[in-house]
A and B are shown apart, each in its own frame.
Chain A
Amino acid sequence: MSSSLIQTENLVKTYDTGEVPLRALDGVSLDIARGEFLAIMGHSGSGKSTLMNVLGALDRPTAGRYLLEGEEVGEMDVEELADLRNRRIGFIFQSFNLLPRLSALQNVMLPIRYRVGNRIGGEEREEASIAALESVGLGERLHHRPNQLSGGQQQRVAIARALVNQPALLLADEPTGNLDSKSSEEIMGILHTLNRQGVTIVMVTHESDVANHAGRIIHMKDGKIISDGQNGKMSQERAQ
Chain B
Amino acid sequence: MTLIEVIGLAWEGLVLNKLRSFLTTLGVIIGVAAVILMIAISAGAEAAIADQINALGANLIIVTAARGVPGRPPTLVYDDALAIGRTVKGITGVAAEQNLADQLIKWGNVSFTTPALGTTPDFPVVRGAPLGVAHFFTQADLDRKNKVIVLGSKVAQDLFGEVSPVDQEVVFGTTRLTVIGVMAPKGKVADTDYDDRVYIPLTVLYQRFLANPMMNNRVRTVYAQATSRETMDSAISQIKSVLAQQHGVTLANPDFIVQTQEDIIQTQQATTETFRTLLGWVAAVSLLVGGIGIMNIMLVSVTERTREIGVRVSIGARPQDVRRQFLLEAMILSLFGGLIGVIAGVGGAWLFDEMGAMRTVLVPWSLGLAFVASAVVGIFFGYFPATKAANLDPIEALRHE
Contact = CB atoms under 8 A, between A and B. Distances in A.
A110 B315 contact: yes
Given A53-B395, A101-B16, A91 B318 contact: no
A110 B313 CA distance: 11
A86 B316 CA distance: 4
Contacts of A85: 313-316
Interface string B296-318: 00000000000110111111111
B395 A114 contact: no
A87 B314 contact: no
A82 B314 contact: no
B319 interface: yes
A86 B398 contact: no
A161 B314 CA distance: 11
Contacts of B5: 113
B321 interface: yes
A87 B313 CA distance: 12
A208 to B, nearest CB: 27
B398 A58 contact: yes
Contact of A87 (B308, B316, B318): B316
B314 to A, nearest CB: 5
Nearest to A106: B9
B396 to A, nearest CB: 10
B317 A114 contact: yes
Q: Is the interface of B mostly helix, strand, loop or mixed?
A: helix
Given A99-B308, A114-B321, A91 B315 contact: yes
A99 B311 contact: yes
Contacts of A86: 315-317
A116 B315 CA distance: 12
A50 to B, nearest CB: 9
B314 A58 contact: yes
B316 A115 contact: yes
Q: How large is the interface on B (under 10, 10 to 19, 20 to 34, 35 or more residues)?
A: 20 to 34
A2 to B, nearest CB: 27
A79 interface: yes
Nearest to B1: A113
B394 interface: yes
A78 B312 CA distance: 14
B12 interface: yes
Contacts of B1: 113-114
Interface in A146-184: 161-162, 165
Nearest to A161: B315
A111 interface: yes
Contacts of B317: 82, 86, 114
Given A58-B398, A59-B395, A97 B318 contact: no
A47 interface: no
B258 to A, nearest CB: 74
Nearest to A98: B311
Contacts of B311: 97-99
Contacts of A82: 313, 316-319, 321
A85 B1 CA distance: 16
Contacts of A115: 316
Contacts of A98: 311
Contacts of B321: 82, 114
Contacts of A127: none
A59 B398 CA distance: 12
Given A87-B316, A97-B310, A161-B315, 11 more contacts: A56-B314, A58-B398, A82-B316, A82-B319, A86-B317, A91-B314, A97-B307, A113-B1, A114-B1, A114-B312, A162-B315
30 contacts: A53-B395, A56-B314, A58-B314, A58-B394, A58-B398, A59-B394, A78-B318, A78-B319, A79-B318, A82-B316, A82-B317, A83-B316, A85-B313, A85-B314, A86-B315, A91-B315, A97-B310, A97-B311, A97-B398, A98-B311, A99-B308, A99-B312, A101-B12, A113-B5, A114-B316, A114-B317, A114-B318, A114-B321, A161-B315, A165-B316
Interface of A: 53, 56, 58-59, 78-79, 82-83, 85-87, 91, 93, 97-99, 101, 110-111, 113-116, 161-162, 165
A-B pairs with lowest CB-CB distance, top 7: A86-B316, A82-B318, A113-B1, A114-B316, A111-B315, A85-B316, A58-B394
